[in-house]
Chains A and B, each alone.
Chain A
C-alpha cells in the first residue's frame, strides 16, 4: 500500500495561498492522487484528483512532480470557511483499489482572520 504522509496541522490567514504537501514515496504506476476536505460533523468532500503534472478546478490546484513521490494541494486566497481537515489518498482506479482508500489523520488547516 502507498503510505501517505502529510503535516498534522497548518495555520494560515484569510487571503493567503495555502499549500499542503503530501508524501507518497511508494506510489504505484497506476495510482491516482486524490484530495478530500472534511468539515466537523460532515462527510468528506472530494476536492481534486490527478495523475501527473498539474490539475486545476474551481476550488484548488494539484501539483504533481515528475517522480510522483509527492503532491501539493494549493488553495488560493483562503477564507475562514476553508478551515477543515484535508486528506490525501493514493489509490488505483477501479474496484480493485477499494482497500487502498485510506484516510489517514489528514492535515488540520486553521484559517485565521
Chain B
C-alpha cells in the first residue's frame, strides 16, 4: 500500500513563527502536492512538485514556500504564521497518472 505520512496530526503555533510541515511518501512518486482545506472552500492547491527541486505555484501560494530536496519528501513552510493560516493541511503524491493521488492523514494547524 502507498503510504503518505505527514509529520504531525495536530499542531499549535504562535503568530509570526516559522512553521515546517513535513510529508514523506514511500512509493517513489514523481508528483507531490500540498493542499489546504477549509470549511466551505474545499481543497485548494498551495504548491505542486513534479521532481526534486522542481515546483509550481498553486492557487494560493502567498505566505507559503516549499522544499523538495529528496524525491520522497516534500516540505511546506509557513514563513511567518498568521491566524488566517489556521487550517487542515493535506499532502498527496502521485505517479504519472496525476489524478490518482494518495493523500496523507492531514495536519490540523492552529495559529494563535
B interface secondary structure, majority: strand
Chain A: interface residue total (CB-CB under 8 A): 23
B106 touching A43, Cβ below 8 Å:
yes
Selecting from A13-21, A63-71, A74-82, A100-108, the interface stretch reads: A100-108
A44 touching B43, Cβ below 8 Å:
yes
Q: What interface size band does chain B fall in?
A: 20 to 34
B63 at the interface (CB under 8 A from A): no
Known: A91-B98, A93-B97, A98-B33. A41 touches B106 (CB 8 A): yes
A49 touching B58, Cβ below 8 Å:
no
Contacts of B97 in A (CB 8 A): 32, 49, 93
A113 at the interface (CB under 8 A from B): no
A46 touching B42, Cβ below 8 Å:
no
